[in-house]
């Protein structure tokens, strides 16, 4: 079983890497076109809208994606039937979407006039996009848990492509202005749901038919294993699902703090040039964002893979999968850091243009921080597979809090360098905390 599981993880990660890797390049192209066709202030508004959308959807909806992915894999490994986990996850997702809509209407003034500088279009795009992503992330969790990695990759690829077309329309002159580029963010999650009928139309493999005596023997063995092992899963209820989702929600909040606190704080502290400086800071952090988007293929495949091995008691393959992933990340991050050291400013100027100067040392700091952050994300998936979401969330909150505290320190003339150094320091702390937790409970 371990060999089959390992092969499934490898194939799943490979399939997703193609789809999500292409998605990352297309997303990079979306921002590149927007940067070249819009003014620095208008482009800054696009990056702020992007940050607001993905802070919100990642914090609110990725917990349900992770919950579904882990739970479906665990129930499959244990031979459990029923659909209560789907109802629980859908209930949580619906409540989160309603809560967002209420808060977005209540805080329309600060959002529209403060964050988006009076743009009603950006405010409406925020609402539509966030609500549409509720369905998108539910679909992602379902597809990942059921090993539908091809459809998962198709979903995110369609999302990125449809968004890119709006920026392309502005670049070639079919349309003009910030509003058109922004509308791509609302259209993307809606268009991506076109893969859902394919997922529903393809029936899951039928359950294996077994004799009643075999079912009784397996049920007894599973009950014994559950009571004897800390990895045993309690009955899946709304309270159980909400507890896991709440812990992952805190992790996602910390994750988005690492990725978006820098541009938001730069905007808040740089006065009239804040939007343009926020866009520049966002471009620098794309060195961390683009690989993270590619790494989602590994995250998506490894959580159900590790969960299945954990439920089956396969300790050695579990550790081996984690170690191989960490080694691959280290090699990748080292290569990116060397490229940034050799030609980082030239590459960034070519891709994004503008009047800002990119610091070579700062780009290397972000590259190294990216590698450590991806290692931490891998360790996080291992902890989630073990059911240690609460313990992992404590490490994330501590590291994110330290990162924000560093960004708030006075005395830095170069705010962008402060963000770059803070990101690296926060990633060092986060990876150390999660690695200590991972080794302690092996």
* 267-315 pLDDT, tens digit each: 766 655 556 777 778 777 777 776 776 676 677 778 888 888 887 777 7
pLDDT digits over 170-182, tens only? 999 898 889 999 9
The domain of 409 spans: 2-226+234-440
Q: Which residue has the tokens 């910390």?
A: 254
Q: Output the pLDDT for position 289.
A: 73
For range 415-440, the mean pLDDT? 91
Helix/strand/coil for 253: helix
Q: Output the pLDDT for position 430.
A: 96
pLDDT band at 397 (very low <50, low <70, confident <90, very high): very high
The total number of structural domains in the chain stands at 1
Q: Output the pLDDT for position 105.
A: 95
Query: What span, in angstroms and rounded, lies between the C-alpha atoms of 393 and 365?
Result: 25
Among candidates 129, 69, 120, 81, which has minimal Cα distance to 389?
A: 69
Q: Output the pLDDT for position 313.
A: 72
Of 238 and 218, more confident: 238
pLDDT band at 379 (very low <50, low <70, confident <90, very high): very high
Q: What percent of the chain lies above the pLDDT cut of 90?
A: 29
Of 314 and 138, more confident: 138
Above 50 in pLDDT, residue 211?
A: no
Above 90 in pLDDT, residue 401?
A: yes
Above 80 in pLDDT, residue 27?
A: yes
Above 90 in pLDDT, residue 165?
A: yes
pLDDT digits over 37-96, tens only? 988 888 888 988 988 898 899 889 988 998 888 888 888 877 777 778 888 888 999 999
Please, are residues 158 and 23 in contact by the beta-carbon 8 Å criterion? Answer: no
Please, are residues 310 and 386 in contact by the beta-carbon 8 Å criterion? Answer: yes
pLDDT band at 353 (very low <50, low <70, confident <90, very high): low
Of 350 and 104, more confident: 104
Please, are residues 394 and 259 in contact by the beta-carbon 8 Å criterion? Answer: no
Q: Output the pLDDT for position 181.
A: 94
pLDDT band at 222 (very low <50, low <70, confident <90, very high): very low
Q: Which value, in Å, is the radius of gyration of the alpha carbons in the chain? A: 22
Please, are residues 158 and 192 in contact by the beta-carbon 8 Å criterion? Answer: yes
For range 317-321, the mean pLDDT? 83
Query: What span, in angstroms and rounded, lies between the C-alpha atoms of 72 and 204?
Result: 12
For residue 115, the 8-state DSSP code is: I
Of 44 and 206, more confident: 44
Above 60 in pLDDT, residue 235?
A: no
- Separation of CA 366 from chain center: 18
Q: Output the pLDDT for position 17.
A: 65
Q: How many CB atoms lie within 10 A of CB 235?
A: 8
Above 50 in pLDDT, residue 225?
A: no
**What stretches of 146-237 show up as alpha helix (H) in DSSP?**
149-171, 178-192, 196-201, 212-228
Tokens representing residue 202 in the block? 């393809």
10 Å CB burial of residue 242 (0-12, 13-18, 19+) is middle
pLDDT digits over 259-268, tens only? 778 777 777 6
Above 60 in pLDDT, residue 435?
A: yes
Please, are residues 186 and 132 in contact by the beta-carbon 8 Å criterion? Answer: yes
For range 150-168, the mean pLDDT? 90
């Amino acid at each position: 079983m371990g060999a089959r599981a390992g092969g499934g993880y490898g194939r799943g990660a490979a399939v997703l890497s193609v789809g999500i890797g292409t998605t990352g390049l297309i997303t990079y192209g979306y921002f590149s076109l927007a940067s070249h066709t819009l003014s620095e202030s208008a482009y800054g508004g696009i990056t702020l809208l992007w940050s607001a959308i993905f802070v919100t959807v990642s914090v609110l909806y990725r917990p349900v994606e992770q919950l579904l992915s882990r739970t479906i894999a665990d129930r499959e490994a244990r031979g459990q039937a029923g659909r209560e986990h789907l109802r629980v996850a859908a209930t949580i997702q619906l409540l989160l979407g309603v809560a967002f809509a209420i808060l977005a209407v209540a805080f329309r003034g600060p959002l529209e006039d403060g964050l988006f500088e009076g743009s009603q279009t950006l405010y409406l795009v925020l609402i539509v996009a966030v609500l549409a992503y509720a369905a998108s992330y539910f679909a992602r969790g379902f597809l990942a848990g059921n090993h539908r990695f091809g459809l998962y990759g198709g979903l995110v690829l369609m999302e990125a492509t449809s968004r890119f077309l709006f920026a392309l329309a502005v670049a070639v002159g079919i349309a003009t202005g910030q509003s058109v580029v922004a509308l791509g963010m609302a259209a993307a999650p809606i268009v991506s749901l076109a893969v859902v009928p394919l997922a529903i139309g393809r029936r899951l493999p039928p359950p294996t038919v077994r004799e009643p005596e075999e079912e009784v023997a397996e049920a007894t063995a599973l009950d014994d294993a559950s009571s004897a092992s800390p990895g045993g899963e309690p009955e899946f209820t709304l309270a159980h699902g909400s507890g896991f989702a709440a812990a992952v929600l805190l992790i996602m909040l910390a994750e988005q703090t690492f990725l978006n606190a820098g541009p938001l704080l730069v905007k808040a502290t740089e006065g009239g040039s804040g939007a343009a400086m926020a866009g520049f800071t966002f471009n620098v952090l794309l060195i961390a964002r683009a690989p993270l988007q590619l790494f989602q293929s590994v995250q998506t495949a490894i959580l159900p893979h590790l969960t299945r091995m954990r439920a089956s008691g396969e300790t050695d393959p579990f550790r081996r999968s984690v170690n191989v992933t960490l080694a691959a990340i280290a090699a990748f991050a080292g290569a990116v850091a060397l490229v940034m050291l050799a030609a980082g400013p030239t590459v960034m100027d070519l891709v994004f243009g503008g009047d800002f100067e990119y610091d070579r040392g700062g780009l290397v700091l972000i590259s190294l921080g990216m590698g450590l952050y991806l290692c931490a994300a891998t360790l996080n998936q291992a902890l989630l597979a073990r059911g240690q979401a609460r313990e992992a969330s404590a490490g994330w909150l501590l590291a994110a809090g330290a990162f924000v505290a560093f960004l708030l320190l006075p005395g830095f003339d170069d705010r962008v360098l402060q963000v770059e150094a803070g990101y690296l320091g926060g990633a060092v702390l986060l990876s150390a905390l999660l690695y200590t937790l991972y080794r302690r409970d092996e």
